[in-house]
Amino acid sequence: MSQLEQLKQYTTIVADTGDFQAMKAFAPQDATTNPSLILKAVQKAEYKPLLESVVKAHAGKSTDAIIDRLLIAFGLEILKLIPGRVSTETDARLSFDTEGTVAKGRELIRLYEEAGIARERVLIKIASTWEGIRAAEILEKDGIRCNLTLLFSLPQAIACAEARVQLISPFVGRIYDWYKKSTGQEYTGSDDPGVQSVKAVYNYYRKFGYATEVMGASFRNTSQIVELAGCDLLTISPDLLQKLADSDAPVERKLSKQAADAADIERISLDEKAFRLALNADAMATEKLAEGIRQFAADAVKLEQIVDALR
């Protein structure tokens, strides 16, 4: 079996892309998107008709409303190709606005349901700020499932679990990037700080019985992916999916409930003050969270400019 086939024995595979053709090729269970991926997709010739049709159909609406419908249009096409769930992201500029994020999450679900999609097939992606986590807590109580993204630290993960969010997406590759730049070292296998971070979160969740799903994200190489075999889900870009499909090297399960139960882990209690202090104490997590929000916000603006140019 290929590494991809072996990995599917232990972990749910998710396609990290806005490219429909890639989803057809690798048959993932779920799919995730973000503003950067959608921006990249709409600039390809094969997706221009979808972009143009959405803008034309909703030309009289605000740019913000058209963007919402564009995200839904991509989500609907993705859901035709996968049996599971699609993650659709809220505007990163709402990352510190609890009420705004709740309103956006409800609007996106309304649009999906209006198109005949059950809310169980959609995850609303929200940045793992304190405000974002509080918004997710409210949405989850409404039966709207959430995917907390831009997650780089255990305190963020614990706050998400306490809020009973459906799923978190710890960013392996971006953690790796920060440490590589900071130390000048190359990390591989189990020594990779991004891999270690996800393992710590997974073990904490399983040790203390949290139901929140862990989905490793933002990978730089297949070594990082293979080291997390056994994680609940892994969201993987098409190029890395292809590399896994082309290799038949052995894949062993690395994460399990049994290993988590055996781990020596201390339970941590977090209120807002403790959360902010712990996050601030982690330079990597603080910097990468802020950088990620800026990047997604900038790409959201670029997407708006593309839409406005077609109106």
CATH number of the domain that 121 lies in? 3.20.20.70
Q: Total domain count for the chain?
A: 1
The answer as to whether 281 is a domain residue is yes
Residues near 201 by beta carbon (within 8 Å), at least 6 away in sequence: 154, 157, 168, 170, 214
pTM of the entire structure? 0.95
Of residues 34 and 61, more confidence is placed in 61
Contact between residue 34 and residue 71 where contact means Cβ atoms under 8 Å apart:
no
Tens of pLDDT, residues 21-31 = 888 899 999 99
Cα 127 to chain centroid, rounded: 9
Closest CA to 115 of 35, 54, 178: 54
Tens of pLDDT, residues 76-122 = 999 999 999 999 999 999 999 999 999 999 999 999 999 999 999 99
Task: Identify the pLDDT of residue 123.
Answer: 98
The answer as to whether 286 is a domain residue is yes
Burial of 90 (0-12, 13-18, 19+ CB in 10 A): buried
The answer as to whether 190 is a domain residue is yes
The answer as to whether 22 is a domain residue is yes
| Beta-bridge partner residues of 18 | none
Q: Any idea what the Cα angle at residue 263 is, between residues 255 and 185, rounded to 5°?
A: 65
Instruction: Tell me the pLDDT of the chain averaged across its residues.
Output: 97
Task: Identify the pLDDT of residue 35.
Answer: 83
The answer as to whether 7 is a domain residue is no
In the chain, the amino acid numbered 135 is A
Where does residue 230 fall: left (phi above 0), alpha (psi -120 to 50 degrees), or beta otherwise? left
* Total number of residues shown for the chain: 311
Contact between residue 134 and residue 271 where contact means Cβ atoms under 8 Å apart:
no
Q: What are phi and psi of 66, to 5 degrees?
A: -65, -40
Task: Identify the pLDDT of residue 15.
Answer: 95
The answer as to whether 90 is a domain residue is yes
Query: Is residue 149 pLDDT above 90, yes or no?
Result: yes
Task: Identify the pLDDT of residue 266.
Answer: 96
Task: Identify the pLDDT of residue 21.
Answer: 84
The answer as to whether 1 is a domain residue is no
**27-41, 59-73, 146-160: range with lowest mean pLDDT:** 27-41
Catalytic residue IDs: 125
- Alpha-carbon distance 302 to 141, whole Å? 33
Query: Is residue 311 pLDDT above 90, yes or no?
Result: no
Percentage of the chain exceeding pLDDT 90: 95
Q: What are phi and psi of 109, to 5 degrees?
A: -65, -40
How large is the average pLDDT for residues 145-149? 98
Structure tokens at 228: 């997390």
Domain that holds residue 298: 13-310
Percentage of the chain exceeding pLDDT 70: 100
Task: Identify the pLDDT of residue 22.
Answer: 84
The answer as to whether 4 is a domain residue is no
Tens of pLDDT, residues 192-216 = 999 999 999 999 999 999 999 999 9
